């Protein structure tokens, strides 16, 4: 009984880590299996208009704060790192943009590549002022780029308002972006999120415009 109990506890811990991922996958596939053929055609048409944008980056890069600005057009900074998944939706005309952020801590980064296949666009956020962890950010970015050589990339050089932040040219060099497949759509943009209650920076609006143009139907 003790061995069975230990096994049960171990399985419970695994479910706690993967719970969000399993729920998202179950919800997507279970919905399709239960619908009739006519309903499935409607769902396929709806899903075709739903664009999933994967938002990744190391913990503390500012992913959630940027998403808050994109979704609400208000400045709401987040200081707590995302401990799993963070989903936000933006309606642009008749197109719904689904942002899926996955936390950037060590135990979550191994799951990043599992969501690349359903993404139409990768938004990768880098803390441009965190020189110490820049090599790690570079390493994780190039792992993703190797997994999907064609996925469009919007790279946000965040925290430009912090002293010592690398500018666009410096970050391009430090992240070895010159080695990126020339056929890949790549946009490198400088961003920062100001204090709560202030106006949303123009850099955030510019990033939103680029993201929208990349995923809108041609």
What's the CATH number where 122 sits? 3.40.50.300
| Residue predicted with more confidence, 1 or 180 | 180
Q: Percent of the chain, pLDDT > 90?
A: 44
Confidence of residue 38 (pLDDT cuts 50, 70, 90): very low
Same domain, yes or no: 80 and 11: no
Tell me the average pLDDT across 81-102: 80
pLDDT of residue 72: 74
134 annotated as ligand-binding: no
Query: Does 44 reside within a domain?
Result: no
pLDDT of residue 77: 64
Mean pLDDT of the chain: 77
Confidence of residue 205 (pLDDT cuts 50, 70, 90): confident
63 annotated as ligand-binding: yes
Distance CA 156, CA 48 (A): 26
21 annotated as ligand-binding: no
158 annotated as ligand-binding: yes
Query: Does 84 reside within a domain?
Result: yes
Same domain, yes or no: 22 and 85: no
Tell me the average pLDDT across 143-171: 94
Query: Does 151 reside within a domain?
Result: yes
Same domain, yes or no: 82 and 170: yes
Distance CA 65, CA 215 (A): 21
Same domain, yes or no: 55 and 27: no
pLDDT at 145 over 70: yes
Which residues constitute the domain of residue 209?
49-215
pLDDT at 212 over 80: yes
* Weakest-pLDDT range from 5-9, 79-83, 166-170: 5-9
Same domain, yes or no: 107 and 202: yes
pLDDT of residue 218: 64
8 annotated as ligand-binding: no
82 annotated as ligand-binding: yes
State the total domains in the chain.
2
Query: Does 64 reside within a domain?
Result: yes
Same domain, yes or no: 19 and 66: no
209 annotated as ligand-binding: no
Tell me the average pLDDT across 181-196: 86
Same domain, yes or no: 115 and 91: yes
Confidence of residue 176 (pLDDT cuts 50, 70, 90): very high
Query: Does 41 reside within a domain?
Result: no
Same domain, yes or no: 108 and 136: yes
198 annotated as ligand-binding: no
Query: Does 39 reside within a domain?
Result: no
197 annotated as ligand-binding: no
Same domain, yes or no: 53 and 29: no
pTM of the model: 0.75
The string of pLDDT tens digits covering residues 16-26 is: 334 444 434 43
Same domain, yes or no: 77 and 181: yes
59 annotated as ligand-binding: yes
212 annotated as ligand-binding: no
pLDDT at 124 over 60: yes
Same domain, yes or no: 56 and 88: yes
Tell me the average pLDDT across 149-165: 94
Same domain, yes or no: 5 and 98: no
196 annotated as ligand-binding: no
Query: Does 170 reside within a domain?
Result: yes
83 annotated as ligand-binding: no
Query: Does 40 reside within a domain?
Result: no
pLDDT at 48 over 70: no
93 annotated as ligand-binding: no
């Amino acid at each position: 009984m003790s061995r069975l109990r230990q096994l049960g506890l171990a399985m419970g811990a695994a479910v706690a880590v993967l719970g969000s991922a399993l729920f998202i996958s179950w919800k997507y596939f279970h919905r399709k299996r239960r619908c009739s053929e006519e309903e499935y055609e409607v769902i396929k048409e709806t899903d075709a208009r739903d664009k999933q944008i994967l938002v990744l980056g190391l913990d503390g890069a500012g992913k959630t704060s940027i998403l808050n600005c994109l979704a609400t057009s208000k400045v709401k900074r987040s200081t707590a790192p995302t401990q799993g998944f963070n989903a936000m939706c933006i309606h642009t005309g008749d197109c719904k943009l689904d942002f899926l952020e996955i936390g950037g801590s060590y135990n979550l980064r191994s799951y990043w590549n599992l969501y690349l296949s359903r993404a139409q666009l990768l938004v990768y956020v880098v803390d441009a002022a965190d020189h110490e962890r820049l090599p790690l950010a570079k390493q994780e970015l190039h792992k993703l780029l190797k997994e999907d050589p064609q996925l469009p990339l919007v790279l946000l050089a965040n925290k430009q308002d912090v002293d010592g932040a690398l500018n666009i040219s410096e970050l391009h060099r430090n992240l070895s972006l010159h080695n990126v497949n020339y056929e890949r759509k790549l946009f490198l943009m400088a961003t920062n999120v100001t204090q709560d209650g202030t106006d949303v920076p123009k850099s955030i609006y510019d990033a939103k415009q680029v993201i929208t143009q990349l995923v809108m139907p041609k």
